[in-house]
Amino acid sequence: MDDYTFSFWNWMGLAIILTPFVFGFTLIGLQKRILIQHPSSGIIKNGYIGWSWTYLIFGWFVPVYRGEISIGIFHLVLTFFTFGLFQLIMSFLYNKQFMTRMLTQGWILADSYENNTLAMQKLNINPSF
């Protein structure tokens, strides 16, 4: 009967797999929900800032679920050709890109003052008063 023990390479593989979780939770923090509103229609949606653990787990399904089907298909292709590395990298970038697209399409921040201020800091938006 063979006893299976973790070798150095097993530990290295586990460390590589868990790295995004460690960086995401400690350095970047969990994603935070920010309400955004389309001013002419009054529709309110959820936007997010911070590291996207949902993108890390679900990948290209996240843009599809949020209504960005063409971007989801593009992300699927890139994830396929990079053997999943694109999905790991995009978990750090997707929420900021999503919020930037929404705000440039006319959506506005519609959450509490504290959440709007935090979102403006994370998205590098200068308040114009």
Average pLDDT over residues 125-129: 75
- pLDDT at position 29 is 63
Do 59 and 73 touch, CB atoms closer than 8 A? no
Residue 129 confidence class, pLDDT cut points 50, 70, 90: low
pLDDT the model gives residue 71: 97
Helix pair angle (8-23, 85-104), 10° resolution: 10
Average pLDDT value for the chain? 88
78-116 confidence digits (pLDDT tens): 999 999 999 999 999 999 999 999 999 999 999 999 999
